[in-house]
Amino acid sequence: MIFWRIKSLDSMLATAAKKSLHRSLGVWQLTLLGIGAIIGTGIFVLTAEAAQKAGPGMMIAFVIAGFVCAVAALCYSELSSMVPISGSAYTYSYAVLGELIAWMVGWALILEYSVAAGAVAVGWSGYFVGLLNSSLGIKIPFALVNGPFAGGIINLPAVIICILVVSLLIIGTRESATFNATLVAVKIVALTAFIALALPVADMNHFDPFLPLGTSGVAAAAASIFFAYVGFDAVSTAAEETKDPQRNLPIALISSLLICTLFYLLISAGVVGAVGAQPLIDATGEGLMPGSREMAAQCKLLAAVGQQPVVCSHEALAHVLRQIGWEKVGNLIGLAAFLALPSVILMMLFGQTRIFFVMSRDGLLPEVLSHIHPRFKTPYIVTLVTGLVVTASAAFLPVGKLANISNSGTLFAFLVVALSVMILRIKDKNRARPFKAPVIWLVGPLAIGGCITLFLFLPTDAQLVFPIWTGVGLIFYFLYGYRRSHVLLGISTPPGGENLIEPIRSLVNHEEGERDKEK
């Protein structure tokens, strides 16, 4: 039975123990990794999307989304401290709920990482275009910076940045901890500058009406800007390279989430207070859908008469500072996003290749995905495949749709993690738990209920994408992974071992041949 194909935690830990990884990451480096993964397009770009759905009530939406992530983070903390192994939710679900659910989680994580990378690319494009226009007076044609949903043809800057990042990954460029810390510092300085300049000029009249589209608008905004918190689970993928993971992983997960939530609340208050954040509505009084042709048309009409509300901006934070007289600082905010967001794309693509690699290692995906480039020694095939999906999505879809699609996969993964923690409390109650999620029978159901609720408030098209995507994944699983599963075949190898034997042997033979030629 596929539900009974379970990789035991003991075997996973024993296998990981055979792998000689250098544990070098401390709690501060992990926290910075989490902050770096969380702070990205979500706050730099989706602030406008949240304002269009909830108006000033987006502040409540940030709290709701942050709360759901917090209870999910407690569940992640317990599992990651028990099983400090790469693979994140896929690995946890394989150990608790079996192979079929693990496959569904791994397949859903493609939506989290790949589609999210596309959303970040589109967000970067907005800041790049704004920076060119405000700093150099260069204006790229509308049709070349917007996909069909927004009335354009293709988002060319987003395509270019995707191609560059994929090329870097294939060549082998990787972020060092120092480089990541520098980029995190750039983002934090930029956001702190925004808060310091926007809050003092806040006008309380801009907060009225606070809920222009009612509580349903707040819930819809929370479902969309949930994307702004996605990334904290990337901390758990660094489990095997972490010093004292039982202590440091939970601290880093919760700390990074709390720091980012505080930033988000202050920034949303600054946006509303400084310039206002009332949504655009249609003739019936309903809010226009962000990223739609109708909203794009109305934004064009407003721009023609010299008006550009924050809900129309593709670079919300820079736009606000320019509106209140800090044009040069606004350009610097745009520059910070321009410099920092590509690193988020790289990290997400790198995380996606890791998930694919682990699934390939387990026999659920073709082993060709683990083939290593003879020169660059990187998994170039899986990087190319992933890069193709990311580039296509960034080229034609607006950032809001990409974020919503990504959220649908992420919410499912978080739900499974919360369910796994509760099942393990019953199935394996005597196992050592260096970190225990407090009041798990309250925290767990809250995480599950929160994920389901946010999913129900996603736009209909995003809701439909997930079951269709899952159905395609199940077809692929039963045609391929079901019969080639290493658990079914009784194959047990160190992580990546079997998949790397042939590539390494080929590399060794090639190097020996080259040395013989030199002799």
CA-to-CA dists, residue 364 to 13, 14, 223, 359, 500, angstroms: 20, 21, 31, 5, 16
pLDDT at position 499 is 38
Multiple choice CATH, 2-518, 2.60.120.20, 3.40.190.10, 1.20.1740.10, 1.10.357.10: 1.20.1740.10
State the average pLDDT over residues 312-320: 86
Cα gap 275→389, rounded to integer Å: 37
Q: Is pLDDT above 70 for 387?
A: yes
Distance of CA 220 to the CA centre of its chain: 19
In eight-state DSSP terms, residue 375 is T
Q: Is pLDDT above 60 for 168?
A: yes
Cα gap 306→315, rounded to integer Å: 17
Stated pTM of the model: 0.81
439, 385 Cβ separation under 8 angstroms: no
> What Rg value do the Cα atoms of the chain yield, rounded?
23
Percent of the chain with pLDDT over 90: 16
State the average pLDDT over residues 43-57: 86
pLDDT at position 14 is 63
In this structure, is the dihedral angle defined by the CA atoms of residues 330, 336, 339 and 341, taken in order, positive or negative?
Answer: negative
In whole numbers, what is the pLDDT of the chain averaged over residues? 80
pLDDT at position 445 is 96
pLDDT tens digits, residue range 218-262? 999 999 888 888 776 666 656 656 777 767 877 888 888 888 888
pLDDT at position 219 is 93
Token pair belonging to 513: 């041949």
pLDDT at position 138 is 86
Amino acid at 107: W
107, 450 Cβ separation under 8 angstroms: no
Cα gap 105→99, rounded to integer Å: 10
Please, which pLDDT band fits residue 109 given cuts at 50, 70 and 90?
confident
CA-to-CA dists, residue 231 to 32, 45, 204, 414, angstroms: 12, 16, 33, 12
269-278 burial, b at 16+ Cβ within 10 Å, e below that, comes to bbbbbbbbbb
Q: Is pLDDT above 80 for 299?
A: yes
Q: Which residue has the higher pLDDT, 197 or 181?
A: 197
State the average pLDDT over residues 405-418: 89
pLDDT at position 171 is 80
30, 249 Cβ separation under 8 angstroms: yes
State the average pLDDT over residues 173-193: 72
- Ranked by mean pLDDT, the top range of 101-115, 124-138, 380-394, 467-481 is 467-481
Cα–Cα nearest to 150, from 402, 463, 469, 455: 402
Cα–Cα nearest to 9, from 100, 99, 79, 108: 79
Token pair belonging to 291: 């990223």
Cα gap 116→120, rounded to integer Å: 6
3-state secondary structure of 145: strand
Cis status of the peptide bond prior to 209, with omega within 30 of 0: yes
- Total Cβ atoms within 10 A of residue 490: 7
CA end-to-end span of the chain, whole Å? Answer: 57
3-state secondary structure of 55: helix
pLDDT at position 161 is 92
Residue 452, CA atoms < 13 Å, CB-side half-sphere: 9
State the average pLDDT over residues 164-176: 72
pLDDT at position 510 is 43
Cα gap 435→65, rounded to integer Å: 23
Beta strand segments in 377-512, E: none
pLDDT at position 442 is 94
Q: Is pLDDT above 70 for 270?
A: yes
pLDDT tens digits, residue range 356-382? 777 887 888 887 776 777 887 777 888
pLDDT at position 9 is 67
Q: Is pLDDT above 60 for 17?
A: no
Q: How many residues does the chain have?
A: 519
pLDDT at position 410 is 87
Packing angle, helices 27-38 and 245-275, rounded to 10: 40
Q: Is pLDDT above 60 for 503?
A: no
CA-to-CA dists, residue 462 to 230, 391, 468, 502, angstroms: 16, 19, 10, 41
Cα three-residue angle 508-513-516, rounded to 5 degrees: 130
pLDDT at position 498 is 38
pLDDT tens digits, residue range 430-466? 877 777 888 899 999 999 999 999 999 998 888 998 8
Domain ranges for the chain: 2-518
Packing angle, helices 316-323 and 177-198, rounded to 10: 40
